[in-house]
Structure formats: structure tokens, C-alpha cells
């Protein structure tokens, strides 16, 4: 039996395919390459020494999905495919709702039609908004979401919950990721954003490699020890292994489950900058700028539930994350070309 990985050529998807193949799972990928390249699949194959069955196409192509379900023996799906840039989602809400919501509805319908009712969905800590408390447990109430990207995550959680309620032969695992950074230790796959990065780590690595001049730190007057915002950064390989553990969980017919995937440890923007300098040996010039609209001051999780129910913990620390992000960027200054 194989696992259908939507968005498997992307940043988290490619790392997850590696970990799944390393655990002996058969993997089938569908990706329209809107934010990735086929080179990622080739590099995954080089890392694992195993072929990846790849379909280039869109999750909104019902006919293609039927073909895949007919030709492959799929028993579950890990659904990564989606657009993910917060700022872009504010200027292009229709594109985001169409791609992420309509595309997912077509995927879920094709799964139902083909009697594949096991799904792991990439959700996000963004659904907690400015969290009611930290560390955030899965019981924390959902918060106010300030952008269409985040709305698509909350809506898809609700849609999958409603599907499960209507037919409890489905198994649905909603994974709420905190802040994935880092890269595979080979330095051959990693995150490669288009244009100027919005997220902290790719911005830092592009400063390190000389593509950008200096980092802007968005605010140093928050109520935190050094005044900068706190996040729960998690190594992408740990995150990928969380998916492998979730696939094992699906075999228990768990029904509907929600897990935070984070380290449980908060790090400030300046912690990341200083740790990166230490891990890379490269200086990162930075300047303090005004706060970024919509930023949550403090966001980190309680990962106890994933530990107890998935037998999963994040093993890598911030130094590992910085060292691996740097290896990837240094070896691939222009991404996967
Ligand atoms: P990514 O952009 O690197 O990967 C997404 C992949 O999906 C890309 O390869 C893209 O080409 C593909 N894709 C997009 N729309 C598609 C469609 N309609 N049909 C087929 N393929 C399509 O992003 P990522 O960082 O790997 O994120 C993966 C998932 O995790 C996304 O759903 C994202 O929202 C979610 N997530 C990411 C983060 C993060 O910080 N990276 C945090 C929380 C949640
Ligand atoms: N950040 C920053 N400069 C940047 C990008 C991000 O200071 O160029 C800060 C941002 O304000 C936040 C943290 O780094 O406090 C993490 O930002 P990112 O966008 O990576 O993650 P998110 O805010 O979505 O959790």
C-alpha cells in the first residue's frame, strides 16, 4: 500500500517523503510545481536510493486524481499542497481560497469516491491566533485569524472535522505545525522561497550568503526578555518524522485527532540570529525596525500530546536547525536549479 503525498516536491513534503521512504513506506507524489521543482524529487531519490512515483498535476484535477487512485494502491494521504505566503494571501484572497479550499474539496471528494478515508492534514499554529495561553495545548481556543492563508487552514480543519462527523470511517489527523526551519543534513534539499523571503530563517540565510544586505528585526519592544518576538522553531526533519508517526497512528483507526508539532521551546528573533552566527561562523548584520502588523508576540507549544499519543518528540535543537539551514543555503545559493 502506498501513501499519496500532495505537495511532495515542496519544502516539508520533500523532507517527509525522505523519512517515509527511509521507514520503508511506498510513496506517490502529486505536485503542480507552482512553488517547487522536479529537481526536489530527483534529490529525494538520491538521498534515499529509492524511486518516487511522481505525478505532475493539480489537486483540483479530479480526473487525474481518479487515475492515480486507480493505478496506485493508495491507503492514505498526507495533504501538503497549498499556497502558503501570508502577505500574498492578503493581496490574492481569491487565488488562496480557490487553490487551498476548492482544491482540497476536490481532493477529499476523490478520496471518498475511491474509498481512501485516511488523511493527515498540514495545519498551522496560526489557527490559535494570538494564543489565549502559552505553552499552547491543543485545547487552546482558536483565535482571531488576520489573513486568508490562515483562514484556509482553520476552514480546512473544520471541513475535515465535518467530514469525519458525517462518516466516522474516516481517520483524520490535523497537525498544527509551529515554525519549521532547517534542512536535510545532506544539504541537498531545503526551503527556497521565491523573491525576497518573508520568513525569518530564509531571510537570515540569504543575508549570510550575500544575497541580501541586512536583516530587519521587526520590533524590539515586545514584552519578552530581549524585546523581540518568540516562536517555537522546529527542525523540518523532526517535523517530517512527526508525519511518519502519524501514518502509524492512522493504522489504529484513531478517528479525528489534533496534534501540535513543535519543540515546546520558545526562541526569540535575536536568539535565532545569535545561534545562526555561532553555527555558521558568518556575521548577520541587522537593524531594528518597527513591529510587523499582525505579529503574535509569543507563540510556543506544549508538545506533550504528540509525545504521549504519537510517540514523537522533536530531537534537534536550534543550533542544529541553523547549521542545517546554512549548509543548504551555502550549497544552493540559488535554490534547486
Ligand atoms: P511549499 O510551498 O514548499 O510546498 C507546497 C507544495 O504544494 C509545493 O511544492 C507546491 O508546488 C504544491 N502545490 C501548491 N498548490 C498545489 C495544487 N493546487 N496542486 C498540486 N500541488 C500544489 O510549502 P511547505 O512549507 O512545504 O508547506 C507545506 C504545507 O504545510 C502547506 O500546506 C503549508 O501551508 C503548511 N504549513 C507550512 C508551514 C511553514 O512554515 N512552512 C507552517 C505551517 C503549515
Ligand atoms: N522576523 C523578523 N524579520 C524578518 C522576518 C521575520 O524580525 O525579516 C520576525 C517576525 O517578526 C517574527 C519571527 O521573526 O517575530 C518569525 O517570523 P516568521 O515570518 O518566520 O514566522 P511567523 O511570524 O509566521 O511565525
Q: What tens digit of pLDDT does each residue of 287-317 get?
A: 999 999 999 999 999 999 999 999 999 999 9
pLDDT at residue 64 in the model: 98
What's the DSSP call for residue 97?
A: I
Exposure string of 14-32, with b = 16+ CB inside 10 Å and e = fewer, is bbbbbbbbeeebbbbbbbb
Q: Please, what is the average pLDDT of the chain?
A: 98
Report how far ligand 1's centroid is from the alpha carbon of 283 (Å).
31
Q: Assess whether pLDDT exceeds 80 at residue 265.
A: yes
pLDDT band at 101 (very low <50, low <70, confident <90, very high): very high
What is the mean pLDDT of the segment spanning 10-25?
98
What are residue 331's phi and psi, to 5 degrees? -75, -20
Q: Which of 212, 221, 230, 269 to mutate to test the pocket of ligand 2 (most atoms within 8 A of CB)?
A: 269
Among protein residues, the one with the nearest Cα to ligand 1's atom 33 is 84
Rounded CA Rg of the chain: 19
pLDDT at residue 321 in the model: 98
Among protein residues, the one with the nearest Cα to ligand 2's atom 19 is 199
Q: Assess whether pLDDT exceeds 90 at residue 337.
A: no
Residues 275 and 201: their CA atoms lie apart, in Å, by: 11
Q: What is the pLDDT of residues 266-276, one digit of tens each?
A: 999 999 999 99
Tracing cell 496560526 back to the chain, one arrives at 126
What's the DSSP call for residue 302?
A: -
Residues in a beta bridge with 27 = 3
305 close to 254: Cβ distance less than 8 angstroms? no
Q: Which of 232, 14, 256 is nearest to 120 (CA)?
A: 256
pLDDT at residue 219 in the model: 98
Report how far ligand 2's centroid is from the alpha carbon of 164 (Å).
34
Among protein residues, the one with the nearest Cα to ligand 2's atom 24 is 199
Report how far ligand 2's centroid is from the alpha carbon of 272 (Å).
11
Q: Tell me the ligand closest to 271's alpha carbon.
A: 2
Residue 179 CB–ligand 2 contact under 6 Å? yes
Report how far ligand 1's centroid is from the alpha carbon of 36 (Å).
9
Q: Tell me the ligand closest to 35's alpha carbon.
A: 1
What is the mean pLDDT of the segment spanning 175-200?
96
Q: Which of 97, 115, 83 is nearest to 159 (CA)?
A: 97
pLDDT at residue 130 in the model: 96
Active site residues per annotation = 149
pLDDT at residue 222 in the model: 98
Amino acid at each position: 500500500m502506498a501513501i499519496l503525498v500532495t505537495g511532495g516536491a515542496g519544502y516539508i513534503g520533500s523532507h517527509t517523503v525522505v523519512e517515509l521512504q527511509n521507514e520503508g513506506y511506498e510513496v506517490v507524489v502529486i505536485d503542480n510545481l507552482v512553488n517547487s521543482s522536479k529537481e526536489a524529487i530527483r534529490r529525494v531519490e538520491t538521498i534515499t536510493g529509492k524511486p518516487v512515483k511522481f505525478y505532475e498535476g493539480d489537486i483540483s484535477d479530479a480526473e487525474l486524481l481518479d487515475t492515480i487512485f486507480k493505478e496506485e494502491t493508495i491507503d492514505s494521504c498526507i495533504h501538503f499542497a497549498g499556497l502558503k505566503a501570508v502577505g500574498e494571501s492578503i493581496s490574492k484572497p481569491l487565488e488562496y481560497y480557490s487553490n487551498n479550499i476548492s482544491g482540497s474539496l476536490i481532493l477529499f471528494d476523490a478520496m471518498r469516491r475511491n474509498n481512501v478515508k485516511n488523511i493527515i492534514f498540514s495545519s498551522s499554529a496560526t489557527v490559535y491566533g494570538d494564543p489565549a495561553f502559552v505553552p499552547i495545548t491543543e485545547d487552546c481556543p482558536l483565535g482571531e485569524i488576520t489573513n486568508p492563508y490562515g483562514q484556509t487552514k482553520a476552514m480546512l480543519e473544520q471541513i475535515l472535522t465535518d467530514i469525519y462527523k458525517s462518516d466516522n470511517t474516516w481517520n483524520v489527523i490535523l497537525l498544527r505545525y509551529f515554525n519549521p526551519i532547517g534542512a536535510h543534513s545532506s544539504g541537498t534539499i531545503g526551503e527556497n522561497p521565491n523573491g525576497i523571503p518573508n520568513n525569518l530563517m530564509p531571510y537570515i540565510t540569504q543575508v549570510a550568503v550575500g544575497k541580501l544586505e541586512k536583516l530587519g528585526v521587526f520590533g524590539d519592544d515586545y514584552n519578552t526578555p530581549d524585546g523581540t518576538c518568540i516562536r517555537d522553531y522546529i527542525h523540518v526533519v523532526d517535523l517530517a518524522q512527526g508525519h511518519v508517526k502519524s501514518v502509524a497512528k492512522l493504522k489504529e483507526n484513531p478517528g479525528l485527532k489534533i496534534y501540535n508539532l513543535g519543540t515546546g521551546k520558545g526562541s526569540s528573533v535575536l536568539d535565532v540570529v545569535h545561534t545562526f552566527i555561532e553555527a555558521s561562523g558568518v556575521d548577520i548584520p541587522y537593524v531594528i525596525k518597527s513591529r510587523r502588523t499582525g505579529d503574535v508576540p509569543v507563540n510556543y507549544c506544549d508538545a506533550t500530546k504528540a509525545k504521549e499519543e504519537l510517540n514523537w518528540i522533536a530531537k534537534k535543537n536550534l543550533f542544529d536547525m541553523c547549521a542545517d539551514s546554512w549548509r543548504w543555503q551555502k550549497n544552493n545559493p540559488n535554490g534547486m536549479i
